[in-house]
A and B are shown apart, each in its own frame.
Chain A
């Protein structure tokens, strides 16, 4: 046979076999199971099964929440970033939070997929809608809303008592912290999300509220958006008393703009596990306790009066 013809044939065969692989039949979620309508955080009506048996979480915070209310065994898919609790290790990974694999998601036959606006996957929702997979979006912007999410999830998964008792414990821990923290509040706190470029928290971040609950005040609480890139000039002028670093490879040190700040001069720079501080889930209360204890433990050595620009 002529080599060109052989080549064409081989290519055609390869393409055909690929096509054959991709049209393996996919069963859509069984129709006929009883459903009910609920509203998610975006106000969208979602038809969910009465009893959720197969769910996928596309956010580490949601995975942690679902485990916390005792429904982790019903997760059939999570993201590669979902590393807590230990039970997540054995669950199928459907890609990272940036680009989940839609084919894998469909193949896992979920009854419902959970998405958090925190992982910026709103666009992905459309793709799932087209596949007739129920999508539930959470959008927690404060500890109160995180707690509300826990209650909703408890309700969705048929674990309301478990959720209730968890909320009881968490609320008690928050109350305990706030009680102490409010005694001597007012530590001027800067949360550094990344060093270069300098990203911090703004008024829309749940961490702004968290700092306040811990007895401090975020010096960037007036800045627009949730995670703004901040001018270093402003950073230097803000002169925080305490700096918390969201601990990651490129965020181990305070930005050079802080070299003359009270926080650096007094050695009040702390690293906090990035997973705990960045996920709007139940472990945010751990972050709260950690921030509060750092603000508290050295309260006596707090900075001397600050004569410079005060705002």
Chain B
């Protein structure tokens, strides 16, 4: 019998390739793949593929960020959205858009800064003399999230109507603004992020038992924490800058992976990357084609699938 994990690797890689191929094959325009006209080639290579590939990277980034935050905080609800990381990134992106529109790299940089700042604030709020308290952390996350939401609402109210429409769409998670540059940036972040976080899987495994126990095993808890927070901010920042807030990916995907493979982070983190990619690519395929030639925001689809699935998982366990 083949090792279950090797089998899972094969299955997931095959599923990812299949999802990418499917997403590339379907769209609002029918393409004759064996005899592409110049126009069809432009549609495939300039519009569809960048979007599909970006979707894969965004999905991987969000799922990996979710998986590692959940391990670090020993809380299955720890998710970029719940902790305010996504809203920090969203606010950063909006500020970049309003004030630094002329700089091409302002959006991802500001998104990363926003995500990092939100994470840092939540972390500082949650830290007490007795050490890190998980309930306090989740509570701080909720407070920072709602606070940032209100600033976002305030900003959208100050913007004029035409811009407002763009932002409402973008806040719901929208991959239609995909470019090759955005894809490269998100690809770099997701690959580096997944590798770095997978390298921290062993200490994270120990920390899941308890931070004190991990310290006894020689884990530098504060260093691991810094790496996870930093990399998660980078992943969420680049994902949000490219596509707005695509929800539920960081919550649902690691859960499913753990259900299938157990909770060893050496597998949960890289597998979440692939499963997250598959989830978002397929969800975006629905968003692109369901009411073609019109479009839905992909965040609406992930939430539509994610929320009931999450309730189901919650009740089943």
Contact = CB atoms under 8 A, between A and B. Distances in A.
B294 A225 contact: yes
A152 interface: no
Size bracket, chain B contacts: 20 to 34
A234 B293 contact: yes
B37 interface: yes
A250 B46 contact: no
Size bracket, chain A contacts: 35 or more
Interface string A143-180: 00000000000000000000000000000000000000
Contacts of B46: 236, 256-257, 259
A131 interface: no
Contacts of B176: 196-198, 229, 231-232
Question: A-side binding surface: helix, strand, loop or mixed?
Answer: loop
A260 B294 contact: no
Contact of A260 (B39, B161, B174): B39
Contacts of B42: 236, 259-260
Contacts of A259: 42, 46
Contacts of A220: 293
A45 interface: no
A196 B178 CA distance: 10
A223 B165 contact: no
Given A237-B39, A237-B43, A308-B39, A250 B294 contact: no
B27 interface: yes
Interface in A272-286: 274
A250 B40 CA distance: 28
A223 B43 contact: no
Contacts of B161: 81, 97-98
A303 interface: no
B162 A250 contact: yes
Nearest to A222: B293
Contact of B29 (A225, A229, A237): A237
Interface string B185-201: 00000000000000000
**What are the 10 A-B residue pairs with the smallest beta carbon separation, nearest first?**
A234-B293, A231-B28, A233-B29, A228-B294, A308-B39, A248-B162, A231-B293, A232-B47, A237-B29, A234-B28
